[in-house]
Amino acid sequence: MRRVALAAVALALSFSIAGCSGGANHIEAPETSPETETATDTGSLPEPKSETNEMEADMMKMSVGGTDVTVEWEDNQAVADLRALVADAPLTVSLSMYGGFEQVGPLGTYLTSNDVRTTTAAGDIVLYSGNQIVVFYGSNSWAYTRLGHITSQTAEGMAELLGNGDVSITIAQQ
């Protein structure tokens, strides 16, 4: 108990001296040991959210040409913007074939972009120019913001879904 009192006095003096010196001093807290640590009352804190419930609330689902796909969404601001966009109603985007390796379509709004030089693979979902969503069935290198990756399809499956003409995708809250 005496160590706790001495540590508190030393800390108070350190703050007092630092305040008088007028400089920007770095003050370290006194070291504690198991004998000097005190228990804190956490009974009034709210219960933490269940990780499962939190993940379910943040999940989005996607279909390509009417086929449901599983997407592993990125953890970035663009995906948060997309999630907010589909919070009240599903978003359907008409995609057009481009370059023999991707389908591209307008979102109708801009999402926060953080473009990075990227080499894509079949199943990748990216944001292009802040307002275009691109789904790949081949590969390309360009500056994109990653949104996610379709995990339920192989490269061949992605080619079947996207390589035979224009399609629509639908993204919705799950």
Task: Quote the pLDDT of residue 64.
Answer: 98
Task: Quote the pLDDT of residue 20.
Answer: 41
The 10 Å CB-count burial string (b at 16+, else e) for 134-160 is bbbbbebeeebbbbbbbeebeeebbee
Task: Quote the pLDDT of residue 7.
Answer: 41
Q: CA 150 to CA 112: how far, in whole Å?
A: 21
Contact 167, 65 (CB under 8 A): yes
Q: CA 81 to CA 83: how far, in whole Å?
A: 5
Residue 150 has pLDDT above 50, yes or no: yes
More confident residue, 5 or 165: 165
Task: Quote the pLDDT of residue 123.
Answer: 98
Count Cα neighbours of 122 within 13 Å in the Cβ-side half-sphere: 15
Q: CA 105 to CA 171: how far, in whole Å?
A: 13
- As a whole number, the mean pLDDT across the chain is 78
Per-residue model confidence as pLDDT tens digits over 98-115:
999 999 999 999 999 999
What average pLDDT does this structure show over 113-141?
97
Helix (H, G, I), strand (E, B) or coil at 46: coil
59-173 fold: Cyclophilin (2.40.100)
162: how many CB neighbours lie within 10 A of its CB?
26
Model confidence, pTM: 0.68
Task: Report domain extents, the chain.
Answer: 1-38, 59-173
Tokens standing for residue 134:
């691109």
Task: Quote the pLDDT of residue 58.
Answer: 56
Task: Quote the pLDDT of residue 59.
Answer: 87
Per-residue model confidence as pLDDT tens digits over 3-47:
434 344 343 433 333 344 343 333 333 343 444 333 334 343 334
What average pLDDT does this structure show over 116-122?
97
- 60 membership: H or E segment, kind and range: strand 60-64
